[in-house]
Amino acid sequence: MSLTLLLDLDDTLLDTRMPTFIPAYFGALSEYLSAQVPPDKMLEHLMAGTRQMLRNTDPTRTLREAFDAAFFEPLGIPRQALQPLIDGFYEERFPSLQSQTGGPRPGAAEVVHWALSQGYTLVIATNPLFPLRAIEHRLTWAGLSPRSFPFALISSYETFHFTKSHPAYYAECLARLGWPEGPALMVGDDEEGDIRMAQQAGLTAYPIYADGGLTALPGWLQNRSAEQLQPEIKSLSAIQAVLRSTPAVLPGFVQPLAPQDWTRSPFAGEWGVTEILCHLRDVEIEVNLPRLRLILTSDNPFLPGQVTDAWAVERDYAHQDGRAALEEFISARLQTLGLLADLPAESWLRPARHAIFGPTTLQELTGFMAEHDRIHVRQIYQTIRGL
């Protein structure tokens, strides 16, 4: 079967020995930067930056931006002043920390080779609290150098917006791959971040501390059907994870586009990127937000149907500003997320009468919104890849 396989790194592929590795890492970084940052201040602000990353749920702020706000700003030192030294640390000093680890976990390389031989899409789903360069080193220590293994995605703090403290991390992983339509599986050692959060995002999770460990994964998978591993975006946590992931990934998708690419499509008769973004914007502003507000403030309201695909021609989407449409969509989506934040359980059951779907609830409608997101994130991803 076609499978997206998400693999944790630390203590799944690499025996990282976190209780000793992290103090050694912080100590080495503090020593390396001691001429610019007093070591006691360094540790204090490193921990503050880490806590800020763990708390971040803002889809418009990367984890690095969250870290910087709690690290560089209180120190009064611009990032650019320290960045050359930080880059030097990861090239010169960080590799020596390999001695603090126990090397590859048993069967790690064999399982990765096997997964690739099956044609699986492999994601290094490590908690993105580190720069990419540090993660690449740790993969090499696990015998899995990114130069030798075609990983489809490696999560790192430069580009990701959520950590494994939130189900949105897993939605962001799959969204970055254009929401593959096939099955997906998370493999890891941490009961909370790897297993429970993945399950809350709608994924099946395989804990390496059960069922025979990492080396038993191929046999375990051979006894599972594609249907059993298909993500289910039905729970409140999974729905909200998808809705939060969409504004997180879209700016990265369009960032490399040349001006002429915004309105082109490699597929005959299909929308270009600008048209898709205009569609997402107008549906969010004119359909989703009004419906949510109506359900939350009215008793069993009637929701008329909307034929939104026709707007592409009627509103001449192809000649609008795609970047502006994206910004307006993100602004509207933040309003949506604000409306849904911290709702009591009973609010999700508030009823409405839809012109097409009939009797429905707030939860079912937000589920439709999440599926709409997935369809159009996949469409943008495939459009850009095809250009």
Report pLDDT for 315. Answer: 98
My answer on whether 33 and 174 are in the same domain is no
Q: Does the pLDDT at position 258 exceed 90? A: yes
My answer on whether 195 and 275 are in the same domain is no
Report pLDDT for 387. Answer: 93
**Position 75: which residue type?**
L
Rounded distance between C-alpha atoms, residue 84 and residue 294, angstroms = 52
The phi-psi region of residue 212 (left if phi > 0; otherwise alpha if psi is between -120 and 50; otherwise beta) is left
My answer on whether 287 and 338 are in the same domain is yes
Report pLDDT for 189. Answer: 96
Work out how many domains the chain is built from and give that number: 3
- Final residue in a domain of this structure, among 229, 258, 286: 229
Q: Does the pLDDT at position 210 exceed 90? A: no
Q: Report the residue count for the chain.
A: 387
The pair of three-digit structure tokens given for residue 315, joined into one six-digit string: 């509103």
Rounded distance between C-alpha atoms, residue 172 and residue 265, angstroms = 24
**Whether the Cβ atoms of residue 192 and residue 184 lie closer than 8 Å to each other:** no
- Final residue in a domain of this structure, among 84, 100, 116: 100
My answer on whether 136 and 284 are in the same domain is no
Low-confidence winner among 34-48, 195-209, 255-269 (lowest mean pLDDT): 34-48
Percent residues over pLDDT 70 in the chain: 100
Rounded distance between C-alpha atoms, residue 29 and residue 93, angstroms = 8
Report pLDDT for 278. Answer: 98
Rounded distance between C-alpha atoms, residue 247 and residue 241, angstroms = 11
Q: Tokens 């009004």 identify what position?
A: 290
Report pLDDT for 1. Answer: 78
Percent residues over pLDDT 90 in the chain: 94
My answer on whether 243 and 378 are in the same domain is yes
My answer on whether 164 and 295 are in the same domain is no
Rounded distance between C-alpha atoms, residue 10 and residue 191, angstroms = 13
Q: What residues have CB less than 8 Å from 121, skipping those under 6 apart?
A: 2, 3, 4, 5, 152, 177, 180
Report pLDDT for 212. Answer: 80
Mean pLDDT of 16-44: 93
My answer on whether 61 and 163 are in the same domain is no
For 272-331, write each residue's pLDDT tens digit: 999 999 999 999 999 999 999 999 999 999 999 999 999 999 999 999 999 999 999 999
Mean pLDDT of 265-273: 95
Q: Which domain holds residue 56?
A: 18-100
Q: What is the CATH number of the domain that holds 187?
A: 3.40.50.1000
Neighbouring CB atoms inside 10 A of 162's CB total 29
Mean pLDDT of 107-111: 96
- Nearest 5°: phi and psi at 258? -75, 160
Q: What residues have CB less than 8 Å from 152, skipping those under 6 apart?
A: 4, 121, 122, 123, 177
Report pLDDT for 39. Answer: 87
**Which is nearest to 135 in space by CA: 113, 111, 159?**
159
Q: What is the CATH number of the domain that holds 300?
A: 1.20.120.450
Rounded distance between C-alpha atoms, residue 300 and residue 158, angstroms = 44
My answer on whether 44 and 81 are in the same domain is yes
Q: What is the model's pTM?
A: 0.97
My answer on whether 91 and 108 are in the same domain is no
My answer on whether 268 and 369 are in the same domain is yes
- Final residue in a domain of this structure, among 71, 100, 129: 100
My answer on whether 48 and 134 are in the same domain is no
For 315-369, write each residue's pLDDT tens digit: 999 999 999 999 999 999 999 999 999 999 999 999 999 999 899 999 999 999 9
For 46-81, write each residue's pLDDT tens digit: 999 999 999 999 999 999 999 999 999 898 889 999
My answer on whether 296 and 317 are in the same domain is yes
Question: Which of the four pLDDT bands, split at 50, 70 and 90, describes residue 40?
Answer: confident
The pair of three-digit structure tokens given for residue 294, joined into one six-digit string: 């109506």
* Half-sphere exposure (Cβ direction) of 41: Cα atoms closer than 13 Å: 14
